[in-house]
Each structure stands twice: as structure tokens, then as C-alpha cells.
Amino acid sequence: MQAAGFEKVEIEEIGASVIPGYYFEQMRPETIRAISKIRGFALGRLGLLLDIAVYRGFTMGLLEYVLVRGVRS
């Protein structure tokens, strides 16, 4: 961001406040059923696999959810 002209760049890691709650909500049977209705069975299950992969990556320290702020002069 600094190379693009931003100053006062701040990066805040918030994965611990976001990823576990999202994951456990997505694993609830009623949520799985609702998502399957919306996306269809195949896409619903694909999304479920992606949610599992993200959670596992986070718990292994491979992924993080960040907020990035900067001021452009």
C-alpha cells in the first residue's frame, strides 16, 4: 500500500474474532440445510468444504483475516 501512495498503513489481525464464529455457525445442521436450499446440494457442500479448509488453515496458523487501513495523500 505504501508503494501505491498510502501513508499511515495499519494492519489489524481479527481472525480470532471472525473465523471460529463463522465456522461454527456454518456447521450447524439448520444452516447447512438452508444453504443447500439456496445454493443447491452440490454448491452447498462445496461451500462447506471451503469453510472447513479455511478454519483448518486458520487453526494451523496458515490463514488470517485482516483489516487494512491507509490514508492516501
In tens, the pLDDT along 29-40 reads 999 999 999 999
Q: What is the pLDDT of residue 7?
A: 95
Q: Which residues of 38-65 are buried (b: 16+ CB within 10 A; e: fewer)?
A: eeeeeebeebbeebeebbeebeeeeeee
| 67 — pLDDT class (breaks 50, 70, 90) | very high
Question: What is the gyration radius of the CA atoms in the chain, in angstroms?
Answer: 17
Q: What is the pTM of this model?
A: 0.81
Q: What is the pLDDT of residue 73?
A: 79
Judge whether residue 65 has pLDDT over 90.
yes
